[in-house]
Chain A
Amino acid sequence: MRSLILAAALAVAPVGAALAADPIEVVSEAPSGGAEVKIAKMKFQTPEVKVKAGETVTWTNTEALPHNVHFKPGAGLEKDLEGPMLRANQTFTVKFNTAGTYNYICTPHPFMTGKVVVE
């Protein structure tokens, strides 16, 4: 199950070396030092996180109800980046390469919203 989800996560990012032009990219492992966002009670517990360009944010779903992280076009993002559904205790990590404000939702729960501010 885990590997399936990982494969799905990789599928949304360009395969191979990350292109420098991509403002954000899905990464398979969370390096230390990145920001963390927990998902619980139908909410992104830290709805706004600030990171520096080049840093990562890792989301962890802490409840049985599946959630994901779904970035909408804007702030240099041309297309949707729709993360895979996370089951309990699964994680999803994104590296932010370019400064800007990136808004996101949970696909099946559009009332769950958050943003990442990259400085």
Chain B
Amino acid sequence: MTHAHTPARPMLRMSAALLGSAAFAALLAAGPAAAAETHGQAGAKAAAAHLAAGKEDDPVVLEAPAINPRRVYVNDPAHFASLTQQYVIDGDTARVVGMTDSGFLPNPVVASDGSFFGQVSTTFERISRGKRTDYIEIFDPKTYKPTADIELPNAPRFLVGTYPWMTALTPNNKTLLFYQFSPSPAVGVVDLASKKFSRTISVPDCYHVFPVTDQTFFMHCRDGSLLKVAMGADGKDETAKTEVFRKENEYLINHPAYSPKNGRLVWPTYTGKIFQADLSSGEAKFLPAIEAFTDEEKKAGWAPGGWQQVAYHRGSDRIFLLGDQRAQWKHKAPSRFVFVIDAKTGKRVKKIEFGRDIDSVGVSQDAKPQLYALSTGEKTLFIYDPETGKETAAVNQLGHGPQVITTADM
């Protein structure tokens, strides 16, 4: 990895080591640097003033600033490397405020109130071979110290390119659910309160986990239905399928958007047909499907594409869908545009041109949200104002192949 072309981050790390805590705290509190001044320049200025005032350096371990809805978690699966990392970014200042390490293809989770974040991860006793251990690690969002380490029996994790909804927290943030693919479809239940693996729920041939209540979640089945799973207090779990809501040749992408706060499931197909379900009542209500592209645009090759191709902003009821002109079966290639769609009417509100290849989108859930556009190739998170469509900041050097954006709907 070369640092030559991007001096900002290494400078920050240096300043954290060199600066006295008071000076560094002042720098953190200063908020976004003026356009003319980089964080590095501001840090240098603060350090010089500190030195000129004759103050001594007092190195300390820093804590992250207080959490807010613009805390963005960027996970780097690192192209299937055995060891991976997650970057925690403060969207307001566009700065990395922490990092955590993890093993093979971890699944990140963030508590809906921001009170913790964590991951389901896998390590091996000899880096990538030897005894395998699957475990859950929970971190404190200020100190980044682990507050729980829960081992999962019999290595049950599904090792797959990171799909956010293969692992989920219940709304009360007390239970973690994770998917098991082999030897048979199942969902593992972990009680975070008692820090114990609870049990495995056998399910039919269904995928993904969308918690609706603390006792209920939905899945999407091979036959095109949703599965409702009601977790019984005594381990007597009940499952029931909904109607089949999509045709066999309507391929739903692996990265739907889901808002646990209003139970909205937003699920595009390869062609940009967007299925929506309202799960908030505990039963699936299917909303009229939306077409993101006109027939003419489809003929011209417009289609969704990327990794996390869709984001949903609950407050404004808007959908953000990555799209571009592409050949068929190039659905994992990045897109240069995001289409902003009114989820209720299906009308296109805006088309934002990134001018670069973007693989994943996310959106903060505050009233004036930030749009997050992650480039796996550039290893950079670009922050946009979705109202103006303008790029406001960027954070680079995010690992080897960053792919997953997670935010909390606080």
Contacts and interface: CB of A to CB of B under 8 A. Distances in A.
A107 interface: yes
Determine which residue in B183, B205, B222 has the highest number of CB atoms from chain A within 10 A of its CB, and name it.
B183
Interface in B175-234: 181-185, 205, 222
A9 interface: no
Nearest to B204: A111
A110 B183 contact: yes
A69 B185 CA distance: 17
Interface string A97-119: 00000000101001101000000
B182 A111 contact: no
Interface residues of B, number: 7
Interface residues of A, number: 8
A70 interface: yes
A13 B297 CA distance: 57
Interface in A48-90: 70, 72, 80
B183 A70 contact: yes
B183 A111 contact: no
Nearest to B182: A110
Nearest to B184: A110
Contacts of B222: 111
A102 to B, nearest CB: 14
B205 A107 contact: no
Nearest to A72: B183
A105 B182 CA distance: 10
Contacts of B205: 111
Contacts of B184: 105, 110, 113
Nearest to B186: A110
A52 to B, nearest CB: 27
Contacts of A105: 183-184
A55 B184 CA distance: 27
A60 to B, nearest CB: 23
Contacts of A80: 183
Contacts of A107: 182-183
Nearest to B206: A111
A9 to B, nearest CB: 19
Contacts of A70: 183
Contacts of A111: 185, 205, 222
A113 B183 CA distance: 10
Nearest to A42: B222
Determine which residue in B184, B185, B222 has the highest number of CB atoms from chain A within 10 A of its CB, and name it.
B184
Contacts of A110: 181-185
A59 to B, nearest CB: 17
Contacts of B181: 110
Determine which residue in B185, B205, B222 has the highest number of CB atoms from chain A within 10 A of its CB, and name it.
B205
A107 B184 CA distance: 9
A111 B184 CA distance: 7
Nearest to A73: B183
Nearest to B205: A111
A28 B193 CA distance: 53
B186 to A, nearest CB: 10
Contacts of B182: 107, 110
Interface in B280-334: none
A84 B184 CA distance: 18
A55 to B, nearest CB: 25
Contacts of B183: 70, 72, 80, 105, 107, 110
A7 to B, nearest CB: 24
A70 B2 CA distance: 48
Nearest to A70: B183
Nearest to A111: B205
B70 to A, nearest CB: 40
A72 B183 CA distance: 8
7 contacts: A70-B183, A105-B183, A105-B184, A107-B182, A110-B181, A110-B182, A111-B185
Interface of B: 181-185, 205, 222
In the A-B complex, the 3 residue pairs with the smallest Cβ-Cβ separation, listed nearest first, are: A111-B205, A110-B182, A110-B184
Interface of A: 70, 72, 80, 105, 107, 110-111, 113
Given A110-B182, A113-B184, 5 more contacts: A72-B183, A80-B183, A107-B183, A111-B185, A111-B205
